[in-house]
């Protein structure tokens, strides 16, 4: 393996025993370019052509207050596959906040768990007091990677191959962009939403294939809410108003405490994709971090995602001192997320719903060629009880109900694993899952390639350093890496 190390960023991070700043969450501050990567097992498939991008949280400075892993500075890792070879690089996302703290040589903003007055400067996003790290999500649209923050920050652009920072997307509104904008590869559109503390409390937008914003409309809500993800079918964008959001009385005092508002249903807005009046449906109260896919089925719109049976969990009884509350809210086994299906009947206005699996699952993926269309296969992650760490994958055949599981060795943790279709694929599951692994036993990281049809790891590729864990990732095939230059108006 050949490695070119870049000049180091300015850091002020002290030694710590924080559970989400150690182990698999140990921050990585090194930026490199690496090529001639060593293949540890199998062979890199010749029909794997594109780039896997993974966004992670890597705090550079000591926390101003109490640290939550979602406060960490964004770092994108990329591994490009072409002709049976692989190259890797990683870069911090140079947000305005990252650059301000680099200049100051210290942290300037408090985090998700801090009270009012912690930040040394005004904050950003729906919360209003946080640092915009762009560390939550990443997608590829119009040949550019777009990194976003879950609390509605600015949408930061990067070159998906070189990871050169390209600045803020021109189409991003002043109200910000939530994590989980959605790209429809069939139309070239990007759909996004945001949320805030001011009326109408949520917006929906569309960016055309050339990067121009074509739709931006309010989707009025009864008050401030905390939606995290959206979905789309061929005709509708699907937004949500779920009964887990800030306590209004405490928010008036500047305290952002989340609670379950009993008596309120879950509500879903089906918005025509090109804009228009939403149609609302009600369902059982829950919270949902992530959706899978949605599609039309006769008079019904079908939506799959991960229903939380206990969205406000009790503090973990066994947890590092002072972190029992934090650990519970990051533990899928505490909030108990289950693969779930909602059906919205456009003729009757009624909703039907059910679990599709009783296991604790989350962070699902599927073949992106089937986005917004009927699909058969879904791929979810399993997690280590008590921790926000992935320890395996489950493949579902949604037609037959069959499933298959990959369980990683103890001490080895995965990343979200998007589906990469094979060139010339015939079947929906003709492709691969791509994931970075963190091996705490050896203190190393690698890239694992899973054959999605046989559901077996077929290749492992060494990486030049141990990664920190994080949240989201994306696969961009070679055809997604070309930028469309908009015509002059």
Q: What is the DSSP string of 338-381?
A: EEEEEEEETTT--EEEEES-SS--EEEE--GGGTTS---EEEEE
Contact 215, 171 (CB under 8 A): no
What is the spatial order of strands in the sheet that 291-297 belongs to?
291-297, 300-308, 337-345, 351-355
| pLDDT, average across residues 66-72 | 97
Contact 52, 17 (CB under 8 A): no
Distance CA 220, CA 430 (A): 41
pLDDT in tens, 137-175: 999 999 999 999 999 999 999 999 999 999 999 999 999
| Structure tokens given for 442 | 């050896």
Q: What phi and psi values does residue 398 have, to the nearest 5 degrees?
A: -75, -10
Residue 332 is classified by DSSP as H
| Structure tokens given for 378 | 């879904």
Pairing status of strand 470-477 against strand 50-57 = antiparallel
Higher pLDDT residue, 426 or 489?
A: 426
Residue 146: predicted pLDDT: 98
Of 398, 359, 392, 396, nearest to 379 by C-alpha is: 396
Q: What phi and psi values does residue 22 have, to the nearest 5 degrees?
A: -140, 175
Q: Given a cut of 80, is residue 58 above it in pLDDT?
A: yes
Q: Given a cut of 80, is residue 486 above it in pLDDT?
A: no
pLDDT in tens, 203-226: 999 999 999 999 999 999 999 999
Higher pLDDT residue, 320 or 204?
A: 204
Q: Given a cut of 90, is residue 487 above it in pLDDT?
A: no
Of 303, 330, 55, nearest to 179 by C-alpha is: 55
Contact 157, 163 (CB under 8 A): no
Among 121-125, 132-136, 269-273, which is the least confidently predicted range? 121-125
pLDDT in tens, 279-290: 999 999 999 999
Residue 446: predicted pLDDT: 98
Cα 337 to chain centroid, rounded: 16
Burial class (CB in 10 A: 0-12, 13-18, 19+), 321: exposed
pLDDT in tens, 326-385: 999 999 999 999 999 999 999 999 999 999 999 999 999 999 999 999 999 999 999 999
Burial class (CB in 10 A: 0-12, 13-18, 19+), 443: exposed
CA quadruple 442, 443, 445, 450: dihedral positive or negative? positive
Cβ-based neighbours of 202, under 8 Å, separated by 6 or more? 193, 194, 195, 196, 218, 219, 220, 221, 225, 227, 239, 241
| Half-sphere exposure (Cβ direction) of 404: Cα atoms closer than 13 Å | 12
Task: Give the angle 34-155-159 at the CA atoms, nearest 5°.
Answer: 30
Cα 301 to chain centroid, rounded: 24
Cβ-based neighbours of 454, under 8 Å, separated by 6 or more? none
- Long-range contacts at 252-259 (CB < 8 A, ≥ 24 apart): 253/116, 254/115, 254/116, 254/117, 255/115, 255/116, 256/112, 256/127, 256/129, 258/226, 258/312, 259/312
CA quadruple 127, 131, 132, 137: dihedral positive or negative? negative
409: helix, strand or coil: coil
Contact 264, 275 (CB under 8 A): no
Mean pLDDT of all residues belonging to the chain: 97
Distance CA 152, CA 337 (A): 24
Contact 140, 480 (CB under 8 A): yes
Residue 483: predicted pLDDT: 84
Q: Given a cut of 60, is residue 489 above it in pLDDT?
A: no
Residue whose tokens read 């972190």: 323
Of 467, 484, 482, nearest to 57 by C-alpha is: 467
Q: Given a cut of 90, is residue 488 above it in pLDDT?
A: no
72: helix, strand or coil: coil
Give the number of other Cβ atoms within 10 Å of residue 328's Cβ.
Answer: 20
pLDDT in tens, 186-198: 999 999 999 999 9
| pLDDT, average across residues 86-113 | 98
| Structure tokens given for 7 | 């000049």
Of 168, 225, 180, 185, nearest to 205 by C-alpha is: 180
Cβ-based neighbours of 489, under 8 Å, separated by 6 or more? none
190: helix, strand or coil: strand
Q: What phi and psi values does residue 216 have, to the nearest 5 degrees?
A: -155, 110
| Structure tokens given for 302 | 């079908």
| Structure tokens given for 94 | 């140079």
């Amino acid at each position: 393996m050949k490695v070119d190390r870049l000049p180091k960023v300015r850091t002020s991070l002290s030694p710590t025993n924080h559970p989400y700043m150690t182990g698999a969450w140990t921050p990585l501050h090194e930026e490199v370019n690496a090529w001639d990567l060593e293949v540890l097992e199998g062979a890199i498939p010749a029909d794997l052509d594109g780039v896997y991008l993974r966004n992670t949280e890597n705090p550079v400075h000591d926390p101003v207050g109490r640290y939550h892993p979602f406060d960490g500075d964004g770092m994108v890792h990329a591994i490009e596959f072409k002709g049976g070879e692989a190259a890797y690089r990683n870069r911090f996302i140079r947000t305005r906040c990252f650059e301000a703290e680099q200049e100051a040589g210290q942290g300037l903003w408090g985090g998700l768990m801090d009270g009012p007055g912690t930040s040394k400067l005004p904050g950003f996003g729906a919360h209003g007091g946080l640092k915009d790290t762009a560390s939550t999500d990443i997608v590829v649209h119009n040949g550019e990677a777009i990194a976003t923050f879950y609390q509605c920050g600015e949408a930061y652009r990067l070159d998906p191959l070189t990871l050169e920072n390209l600045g803020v997307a021109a189409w991003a509104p002043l109200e910000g962009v939530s994590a989980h904008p959605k790209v429809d590869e069939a139309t070239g559109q990007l759909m996004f939403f945001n949320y805030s503390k001011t009326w109408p409390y949520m917006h929906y937008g569309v960016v055309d294939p050339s990067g121009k914003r074509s739709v931006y409309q309010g989707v009025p809500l009864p008050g401030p809410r905390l939606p995290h993800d959206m979905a789309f079918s061929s005709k509708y964008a699907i937004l949500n108003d779920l009964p887990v959001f800030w306590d209004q009385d405490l928010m008036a005092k500047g305290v952002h405490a989340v609670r379950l508002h009993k008596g309120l249903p879950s509500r879903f807005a089906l918005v025509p994709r090109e804009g228009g009046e939403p149609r609302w449906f009600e369902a059982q109260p829950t919270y949902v971090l992530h959706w899978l896919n949605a599609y039309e089925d006769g008079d019904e719109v079908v939506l799959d995602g991960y229903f939380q049976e206990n969205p406000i969990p009790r503090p973990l009884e066994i947890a590092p001192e002072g972190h029992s509350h934090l650990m519970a809210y990051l533990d899928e086994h505490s909030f108990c997320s289950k693969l779930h299906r909602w059906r919205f009947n456009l003729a009757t206005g009624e909703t039907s719903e059910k679990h599709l699996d009783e296991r604790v699952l989350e962070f699902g993926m599927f073949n992106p060629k089937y986005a917004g269309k009927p699909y058969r296969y879904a791929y979810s992650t399993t997690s280590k009880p008590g921790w926000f760490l992935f320890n395996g994958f489950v493949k579902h055949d949604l037609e037959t109900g069959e499933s298959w599981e990959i369980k990683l060795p103890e001490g080895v943790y995965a990343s979200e694993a998007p589906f990469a279709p094979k060139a010339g694929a015939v079947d929906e599951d003709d492709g691969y899952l791509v994931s970075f692994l963190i091996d705490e036993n050896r203190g190393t990281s690698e890239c694992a390639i899973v054959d999605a049809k046989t559901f077996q790891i077929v290749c492992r590729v060494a990486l030049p350093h141990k990664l920190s864990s994080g949240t989201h990732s994306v696969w961009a095939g070679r055809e997604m890496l070309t930028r469309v230059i908009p015509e002059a108006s």
